[in-house]
Amino acid sequence: MAEFTFELNDDQKQVRDWLHGFAADVIRPAAAEWDEREETPWPVIQEAAKVGVYSLDFYAQQYFDPTGLSIPMVMEELFWGDAGIGLSIVGTGLAAVGVLANGTDEQIGTWIPQMYGDVDDVKVAAFCSSEPDAGSDVAAMRTRAVYDEAKDEWVLNGTKTWATNGGIANVHVVVAVVDPGAGSKGHASFIVPPGTPGLSQGQKFKKHGIRASHTAEVVLEDVRVPGHCLLGGKEKLDERLARAREAKAAGGTGGERVKNAAMATFEASRPAVGAMAVGTARAAYEVALDYAKTRSQFGRPVIDNQGIAFQLVDMRTRIDAARLLVWRASWMAATGKAFTAAEGSMSKLYASETAKDVTARAVQILGGNGFTREYPVERMHRDSAIYTIFEGTSEIQRLVIARTLSGMPIR
């Protein structure tokens, strides 16, 4: 078992420096343009594929790092470059994690490569869980999957929303209700292969931030997928539903937790989202620090004012603390340590709130310049708002943590 350390090894440092160079040389120069265009930055994704940043092999190497630190390190550097473009590059990973968390070895080997395509034909994937009336409340999900035994097909109907890459993806991973009576335990995840009839893009959202990342509704109308597209397989699903029904009949859970498909994906990805927030916060802090050292007011650098210098101290302290929480959670997940205090949610909560706080302070330090699009902190401040919302709002993270700490069904 890898021991927890705050020091990256030589291989990790080499990857970090390589990613930092890509973020500085390729992502940052393109950030303002694609934010204004509000379109998927396909040329940047193509460049990422050419150098190996956008590839199954690269993310597999980072995912299986025994220390758990490689994925948060990757996320921090890419999102230091730009959050919108960073999410366009890593958004496929959420769908991939959905397959890794719930799929069989055969499904993993079949579908994840199709999510990325290749250098000459880059593809993206989408994870579809949220609905118009079911965001954080996954138990309110209405999308249904009904099994057609005669044809060994599942028929999906419903509308998903807030789907990164929704409608433009090559592969969609869709969470649907298979047993309404089982509540959130009656959910399952399905692969919708490329070109499947009945799946279409609904509304594309015009967003406050991360505008280079495509976010849209996904409409499912009598979408038929083969039985082998049920992640984990039907036998495993039937066993899980039987346990849930037995527990319900017994008047409780029987001391046994039944895994929820959407929650399994979110549990695995929350520290990575925290790392994204750290990257954005660090970028804004560095701009503010440089500005405060070079900008003069009343005949001296702005940083010579304690009011500014102390703000920068607080910003840096919060960033470092957030990174350590993210690294701890990532290390715990990689080494099989249980989140006994909801450490994954804790890391996401603190890092996302840190990003909002640090970017707001950066805008304030730059004053009027910080409020214009001539300086990147304006965009970073807009981008930071998403971290406290997606993959579980800050309120949901606090609820998860409170329930874990207290053992009580806090509402």
**Residues assigned a catalytic role:** 391
Cα Rg of the chain (Å, integer) = 22
Give 210: exposed, middle or buried? Use CB within 10 Å, 0-12, 13-18, 19+: buried
DSSP 195-209: T-TTEEEEEEP--SS
Query: And the tokens for 126?
Result: 């989408």
Are 15 and 70 in contact, with CB atoms under 8 Å apart? yes
The CA distance from 312 to 68, in Å, is 29
Question: What are 58's two structure tokens?
Answer: 């690269």
d(CA 260, CA 258): 6
Instruction: Considering only the C-alpha atoms of the chain, give the largest distance between any 2 of them, rounded to a whole number of Å.
Output: 82
Tokens matching residue 94: 């959420």
Q: Specify which residues 225 forms β-bridges with.
A: 154
DSSP string, 67-122: TS-HHHHHHHHHHHH-HHHHHHHHTHHHHHHHHHHH--HHHHHHHHHHHHEETTEE
CA separation for the pair 20, 74 (Å, rounded): 9
Q: Round to whole Å and give the CA distance between 110 and 127.
A: 17
Measured from the Cβ of residue 203, the count of other Cβ atoms closer than 10 Å reads 13
Residue 68, token pair as written in the block: 């758990």
H/E segment holding residue 315: helix 306-334
Can you tell me the distance from the alpha carbon of 93 to that of 96, in angstroms, rounded to the nearest whole number?
5
Please, what is the Cα angle at 255 between 251 and 258, to 5 degrees? 90
- Give Cα separations from 270 to 155, 327, 388 (angstroms): 30, 12, 11
